[in-house]
Amino acid sequence: MAAFLFNGAEEYSYKMLVEYINQHKKYFPLYKTHDIFAYFENLIKAIVTNSPLVLLDSDLNPSEVAGVDESQVNIAVQLPDYHFDDINSVVAALQKSSSEITIFTSGTTGQPKKVVHSIETLTRSVHLGDRYKGQVWAYAYNPTHMAGLQVFFQAFENQNTLVNVFNMQRSDVYQKIAQYQITHISATPTFYRLLLPFEESYPMVQRVTLGGEKSDNHLYENIKKIFPKAKINNVYASTEAGSLFAAKGDCFQIPEKICEKFTVVDDELLIHKSLLGKSDCFKFDGDYYHSGDLIEWVNKEEGIFKFKSRKNELVNVGGYKVNPGEVEDAINAIEGVRQSLVYGKANSILGNVLIAEVHLEDGAEVTDLEIRKTLKKQLQDFKIPRKIKFVEAFLLTRTGKLKRS
């Protein structure tokens, strides 16, 4: 039987997982733990017994989110009696579950918001069948958030292996890829940028998926060099709706069967409420939810578009609306730059000025002047940052994305 999870030096088989589930018939409706196997065990027990569950980050202070009773965190509750003969019966129970799972947004730009999902919405993008067997997944997401859940369900329902690499250093990630012959990686663009520079390629990786943040062609080209035999795709997903559609390169296509569930108003993508989880924080325009994502159509008739930016990330500079992502793409394409972060700072004359923080690759020597010369060839003057700061690292959210204040 395949291994279920590798976490550091610990190995857990699917047989061991079933034994744990059968032996321990209590679960934690509100659970905080650094132990990823214990987290998965608790998640599965809740789902297969149709029990509600609130997923909390291991370092979360309950005061950070509304509606969480701190006194109930890590309080065990007795489950009804059950027994599973093997992992197949566990997976079957999961697929029929009526559980409701509460998760929180990542807090990239503000306080986390609570969203309640059914198993159906959480597993909407799972693919099943013989072609999906025998895969080894690098687990590069926070397990309590949407992206981490989707990778878990994809691997678990096909009885694949997970290798935990979340928050690992670059050298350790590469060591795990080689050691466990990892075939599939799904992670944020920030995760892949932190793998640069690279010293060798890894042809055993068959598929690389990016999600959660805007990517760029410079990063795609580097990923192709690191994983030369991998198919690369980008997914559009959110805590509110789960996974909705995928892209090859930077062009997304809305599937024909759900194309009527979307509309675009003032470049913002609106999603029909039938595709969402449940939350008191949702604000609807009729039957549609404002996603906050700005897009541009490539082919409207075929539902093909490019993601531009988050609506609340636009910066007003002297009356001009600047998309920080456009500036970041230009900086990230400069040789020696690992990643950049562009944001607005209040200014009494212009309203805001642009600030760029730049993280260089190890050993790279890139100057403020070189960056400005390059940007001047590509961007209008008002899009060029007033100040460029070189940093050793960026603050990340709990989901591994850039923290944007």
3-state secondary structure at position 311: helix
Residue 402: band (very low, low, confident or very high) from pLDDT cuts 50, 70, 90:
confident
Domain ranges in the chain? 3-233, 250-311, 314-390
Annotate 140-161 with b (16+ C-beta within 10 A) or e (fewer). bbbbbbbbbbbbbbbbbbbbbb
SS3 196: coil
The pTM for the full model equals 0.84
Rg of the chain over CA atoms, in angstroms?
22
Name the band, by pLDDT with cuts 50, 70 and 90, for residue 359: very high
| Model confidence at 262: pLDDT above 80 | yes
Kindly list the strands in the beta sheet with 100-104, ordered across the sheet, starting from the edge strand earlier in the chain. 30-31, 53-55, 100-104, 114-118
The CATH fold of domain 314-390: GMP Synthetase; Chain A, domain 3 (3.30.300)
User: What is the CATH class of 3-233?
Assistant: alpha beta
Per-position DSSP letters for 93-112, written without gaps between them = HHHT---EEEEE---SSSS-
List of E strands, 32-176? 53-55, 77-78, 100-104, 114-118, 136-139, 161-164
Question: In which residue are the tokens 């003969």 written?
Answer: 85
Backbone CA torsion sign across 182, 210, 165, 342: positive
Helical segments of 247-361, H only = 324-332
Check residue 88 and give its pLDDT: 97
Give CA–CA dist 17/275, Å, rounded.
Answer: 32
Q: How high is the pLDDT of residue 21?
A: 97
Poorest-pLDDT segment among 36-40, 41-45, 329-333: 329-333
Res. 1 pLDDT band, cuts 50 70 90: low
Percentage of the chain surpassing pLDDT 70?
Answer: 96
Q: What does the pLDDT read at residue 110? A: 56
Q: Over 90: is that where the pLDDT of 111 sits?
A: no
Confidence grade of residue 66 (pLDDT, cut at 50, 70, 90): low
* Mean pLDDT, the chain, integer: 90
